[in-house]
Structure 1
Amino acid sequence: MKVLIITGGNIDDDFASSFLKKNHYDEIIAVDGGLAFADRSDLSITYLVGDFDTIDRTILEKYIHRPDICVHQFIPEKDYTDTDIAVKLALSLIKNHHSEENEEKVIHILGGTGSRLDHVLANLQMLKNILDEDVRGIIIDRNNIIEMIRGERVLKREEMTGTYVSLIPVTMELTGITLSGFKYPLENASSHFGESLMVSNELLEEEGRIFIKEGMAWMIISKD
């Protein structure tokens, strides 16, 4: 099952439209200001979430009373961000979905980065909640694909959308790190929170393998 969350950060329309053409989603959740992009892109959203303090009221009125859209409205003085609420909703939808064996479970987040660094950091941390449910959570913008990983991950050159691959420790310690197929390989290495050992690597082979024995890291595929 694949769920798309469109939230209120920076969205490059040309990039986002191109990206969405390559993906099909079972559910699309628009989050407050993210509804503006969904509206101008004519996306068929299935859920609308937020306190609606940033979206233009004219746009909101086009959607809030539609019977085919499930609306979750909250007061601005709430405990969690709109995006966090949307992530919890997406995880609930995936949990209650009857998945076929080996069906991939993915949440894509557009608009998860932007000028509000507090929101960006909160969104990056939310990827742990998604990972803990054995779901792939991926924040996407024009220059970056960000995912929290543990264990093993294989990258294929044909699927790469950026030049650089970086691993940023999330846990205090990372142990048993092996990188093969990369410009800067590692074999059973260690790193820790606050260290830049694995920033700006590059895939050399047609396939690159990342293995982390213990710990978690943000994997960021980026381009200038």
Structure 2
Amino acid sequence: MKVLIITGGNIDDDFAFSFLKNNRYDEVIAVDGGLAFADRAGIKITHLVGDFDTIDGAVLEKYIHREDICVHQFVPEKDYTDTDIAVKLAIELFSGMGVPLDPMSEGLSLKLLPEQEIPMKETGEKILHILGATGTRLDHVLANLQMLKNIMDAGIDGMIIDKNNQIQMIRGTHHLKMEGIFGKYMSLIPATMDLSGITLQGFKYPLDRANTHFGESLCVSNELTAEEGWITIEEGTAWMILSRD
């Protein structure tokens, strides 16, 4: 199963159009301002999430009453960001549950259009791509980066993707292939206080059970040189960032 979240940060149209040509999704979640991109790209969305305070009313009106879209509308005075709510929804979709959010426990109002249900999905490959999660609001960017942990903990391969970066949270062992790799550079940024036993094989700057910690730049800007590369982290969690200029 593959799910796409389109949220309201910066999206480069040329890159995003090209990226989406190569991917097909079982569910597409548009988040508030991200609906504007979905609209101009002609993407078929299955869920619409947000308090709708940043989307043009004329665009919103085209979607909010459609019977083929599950609408999850919240009041602006809520505890979680629209993107966070969309990530929680995506995790529930992967788990195959029914109505994904409990408005009572969230302290929010959930609106589903009449007679709409969220379809059950079979387990298997679980991939979540998020577009529009980076931009000028660094508070939102940092919050979005942290959400990758919840996605990883749910057993989902989750990636924040923009024109220059593909960001994923990893632990344990991770495999990369030169064919189709996103960008030239690979960096590991500690997401826990310590990263222990870091081994990098197939990279320009290999490591053998090295240690680093939060605040250090030891693993920034490496390059895959072999056809395949292996990243092993014995203890700790890191953001893996594949990037290009």
TM-score band, normalised by the shorter chain?
over 0.9
Structure 2: which amino acid aligns with 1:109? I
The Cα offsets for residues 15-56 of structure 1, whole Å up to 9 and x where unpaired, read as: 001101111100000000000000000000000000000000
Q: Which residue does 2:207 correspond to in 1?
A: 186
C-alpha distance in structure 2 between counterparts of 1:110 and 1:143, whole Å? 12
Normalising by structure 1, what TM-score?
A: 0.98
Structure 2: which amino acid aligns with 1:196? S
Q: Which residue does 2:227 correspond to in 1?
A: 206
Q: Which residue does 2:195 correspond to in 1?
A: 174
Q: Equivalent residues in 2 for 1:1-224 (5 A)?
A: 1-96=1-96, 97-99=120-122, 103-224=124-245
Gaps (5+ residues) in structure 2?
A: 97-119
C-alpha distance in structure 1 between counterparts of 2:127 and 2:81, whole Å? 21
Normalising by structure 2, what TM-score?
A: 0.89
C-alpha distance in structure 1 between counterparts of 2:122 and 2:68, whole Å? 23
C-alpha distance in structure 2 between counterparts of 1:220 and 1:99, whole Å? 30
Q: CA deviation at 1:98?
A: 4.1
C-alpha distance in structure 2 between counterparts of 1:191 and 1:166, whole Å? 13
C-alpha distance in structure 2 between counterparts of 1:177 and 1:134, whole Å? 22
CA RMSD of aligned residues (A): 0.8
Structure 2: which amino acid aligns with 1:175? S
Q: CA deviation at 1:135?
A: 0.7
Q: CA deviation at 1:118?
A: 0.2
C-alpha distance in structure 1 between counterparts of 2:211 and 2:134, whole Å? 29
Gaps (5+ residues) in structure 1?
A: none
- The answer to whether the 8 A contact 2:33-2:55 is kept is yes
Point out 4+ residue stretches in structure 1 off by more than 2 angstroms.
97-100
C-alpha distance in structure 2 between counterparts of 1:106 and 1:145, whole Å? 13
C-alpha distance in structure 2 between counterparts of 1:49 and 1:34, whole Å? 10
Identity in percent: 72
Structure 1: which amino acid aligns with 2:8? G
Count of residue pairs the alignment pairs up: 222
Structure 2: which amino acid aligns with 1:28? V
C-alpha distance in structure 2 between counterparts of 1:94 and 1:74, whole Å? 22
C-alpha distance in structure 1 between counterparts of 2:202 and 2:213, whole Å? 22
Q: CA deviation at 1:64?
A: 0.2
Q: CA deviation at 1:99?
A: 3.0
